[in-house]
């Protein structure tokens, strides 16, 4: 069975972009919550200017992943891995997890002041 590299790659890119987009805001809060401290945590805000680019990359990757996962059934031939219902359900679940990460990255800077 051949594996759909485009769908998995787009999901991975979307997840990485979502994590990078939230690093400037969510990273210091998580580190402080875990007990880490120090002035070096402030260096994580250096990624703030790149946040819009990371969010755009996440949205583009999610679009391509969505298109690959929910494409018409005619595009998936019998014998391919996308024809297996269990694999397809796993891709759909992973897609929604990555979507949740992107939503957290989009909304966290607006609610972060409530935590500090």
Q: Of the given ranges (56-60, 75-79, 82-86), which has the lowest mean pLDDT? A: 75-79
**Collapsed DSSP state (helix, strand, coil) of residue 84:** coil
Read off the pLDDT of each residue in 32-51 and give the average, rounded to a whole number. Answer: 71
Q: Considering the entire predicted model, what is its pTM?
A: 0.59
What are the residue ranges spanned by the domains of the chain? Answer: 5-114
Report pLDDT for 44: 65
User: What average pLDDT does range 83-104 have in this prediction?
Assistant: 82
- Mean pLDDT computed over every residue of the chain: 74
Q: So what's the pLDDT on residue 22?
A: 66
Query: What DSSP string describes 25-52?
Result: HHHHHHHHHTT--SGGGGGGGGGGGGHH
pLDDT tens digits for 57-73?
888 888 888 887 887 66
- Judging by beta carbons within 10 Å of its beta carbon (0-12, 13-18, 19+), is residue 86 exposed, middle or buried? exposed
| Cβ-contact 13, 61 below 8 angstroms | yes
pLDDT at 105 over 60: yes
The alpha carbon dihedral of 64, 76, 3, 103 has a sign of positive
pLDDT of residue 1: 45
């Amino acid at each position: 069975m051949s594996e759909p590299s485009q769908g998995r790659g787009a999901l991975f890119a979307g997840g990485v972009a979502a994590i990078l987009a939230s690093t400037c805001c969510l990273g210091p809060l998580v580190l402080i919550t875990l007990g880490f401290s120090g002035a070096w945590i402030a260096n994580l805000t250096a990624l703030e200017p790149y946040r819009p680019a990371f969010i755009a990359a996440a949205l583009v990757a999610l679009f391509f992943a969505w298109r690959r996962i929910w494409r018409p059934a005619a595009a998936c031939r019998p014998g391919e891995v996308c024809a297996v219902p269990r694999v397809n359900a796993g891709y759909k679940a992973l897609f929604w997890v990555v979507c949740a990460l992107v939503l957290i990255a989009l909304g966290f800077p607006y609610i972060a002041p409530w935590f500090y």
